[in-house]
Amino acid sequence: MSSGLILILAILVLGGVIATVGDRIGTKVGKARLSLFNLRPRRTATLVTILTGVVVAASTLGILIGTSGPLRTGIFEYERIQRDRRRARADLQTAREELQAARNERLQIGKELNKARTDRSTAQRQLLETNESLKSAVVERDKANAVRSQVQSALSQAQAELNQNETQLAMVTNQAARLRSEINQLQTERQRVIAQGEEEIRAKNAVIQEREQRLKLLEAQQEFLVREIAKLEREAEGLRRGNVAIQRGQVLSTAVVRIVNPAAAQDAVDRLLREANRVATQLARPGSRQQEQIILITKAEVGQLANQIDDGRDYVVRVLSAANYLTGETPIQVVVEAVPNQVIFNKGDVVASTSIDPSVATDAEIQQRINLLLAAANFRARRLGILTDTVEIGRVQNLLTFIERIKEYKQAVELRAIAATSTYTSGPLTVELEITPNGQAGARSFQ
């Protein structure tokens, strides 16, 4: 049996015994008609019964308190237990809230962990892509090194052309200075010989005018060479910075057209633009097999060009690059122009001329003077509207033989570039070289 059952049985037995004893005491007191505290016997018996009940209750409570620690604690420390219980409940609620917050935080941490795992996967994928890009970049670097070698070669060639033009510019400048000196001498001589007659003065004036015209031509040639040098310098700068595939103003397609039916103008323009796109693709994307449109031009420009050339006249139509473009750089902005194709030089026209004294000139100076003559012919052709950039020599001519023929003269001679055929705006200009002794009407053509 448990101690609780034993305690209950002991309390019941003790209560019965005390009740029996009390009853008997009360009976005896009643029969004896005892009086306590001056009370009547009946009241005394009642008092004894009450005291007996009190003793029963006190003994029961005393036994319970004496034998049961929990009961003793519950009676005397109930309020403190209740306060502790309320505090414990509050702590439990706080703990539950903290537990819930910890669970929420754990969920948040789990989400962040999943996100971190996703970011790590993304980073690993990006790392792989970066490695692939790095490998491609190494291949591109090797290609760039090869292209750089080509650029250096082109740069050296451009520098050589630049040096040659600078030499020609110095020669033109020296010749201009000599002509200015000659003009000053002629003007001084003109003042001195006024008294010798009006006829001689007119002759001298004619010589002065001729020299002045030649001086103006040389100055114009000098300006042209200066522009050419600046152009070469810009091209050289472009070559230093990268592989220039298409230069500003480069002709991508050209054609001479005559549109009789205005409806055919648009088709002619479209053919030119397709050809320009093909050429631009070959230059900007060497080796590419894809045919896609990489040139850009506004519809307004195309429509304006079609309206310009539909009048039945001959036009030279060109598609030109609007800027410098490197290899692989797209799109390519282009512009179009249409110029009436008309005769600029008739056969036999003198395009340009210069003079030299073979008796005192070296072979190098004669060669420079011939180069100057061809440059002057090219300059005049461009100024009058011919669209090609080069001057061609009509028949196969040996310049060494021509130089030897010039050296046969022992006096100053005039070198002329004569138009070999009728030359139109579309070009090219073809010339033949002639030697004319100064002051003589005859001329020897360079065969």
- Dist CA 294 CA 271 (whole Å): 15
Cα angle 232, 236, 237 (rounded to 5 degrees) comes to: 120
What pLDDT digit, counting tens, does each position of 159-206 carry? 776 677 677 777 777 777 777 777 777 777 777 766 676 676 677 777
The helix (run of H) or strand (run of E) holding residue 362 is none
- Dist CA 60 CA 70 (whole Å): 16
Task: Please determine, for residue 151, whether its predicted confidence score (pLDDT) is greater than 80.
Answer: no
Question: Which of 388, 395, 398 minimizes the C-alpha distance to 429?
Answer: 388
pLDDT, position 7: 64
SS3 state at 337: strand
What pLDDT digit, counting tens, does each position of 425-447 carry? 877 888 888 888 864 544 444 43
Confidence band (pLDDT; 50, 70, 90) for 225?
Answer: confident
What pLDDT digit, counting tens, does each position of 241-276 carry? 556 788 888 888 888 888 888 888 888 888 988 988
For 102-121, b/e burial (b = at least 16 CB within 10 A) is: eeeeeeeeeeeeeeeeeeee
CA 345 from chain center: how many Å? 47
Mean pLDDT of 413-424: 87
Sequence-distant contacts of 433-438: CB under 8 A, at least 24 apart: 433/370, 433/373, 433/393, 433/397, 433/402, 435/405, 435/406, 435/409, 437/409, 437/411, 437/412, 437/413, 438/355, 438/411, 438/412, 438/413, 438/414
Average pLDDT, the chain: 77
| Predicted TM-score (pTM) above 0.85 | no
Comparing 61-75, 125-139, 311-325, 373-387, which segment has the lowest mean pLDDT? 61-75
**Residue 158: CA atoms inside 13 Å, Cβ hemisphere, count?**
20
Question: Which of 415, 420, 414 minimizes the C-alpha distance to 432?
Answer: 420
- Dist CA 25 CA 16 (whole Å): 14
Comparing 60-64, 67-71, 420-424, which segment has the lowest mean pLDDT? 67-71
Confidence band (pLDDT; 50, 70, 90) for 62?
Answer: confident
Q: Take residue 96 and report the two structure tokens written for it.
A: 């539950």
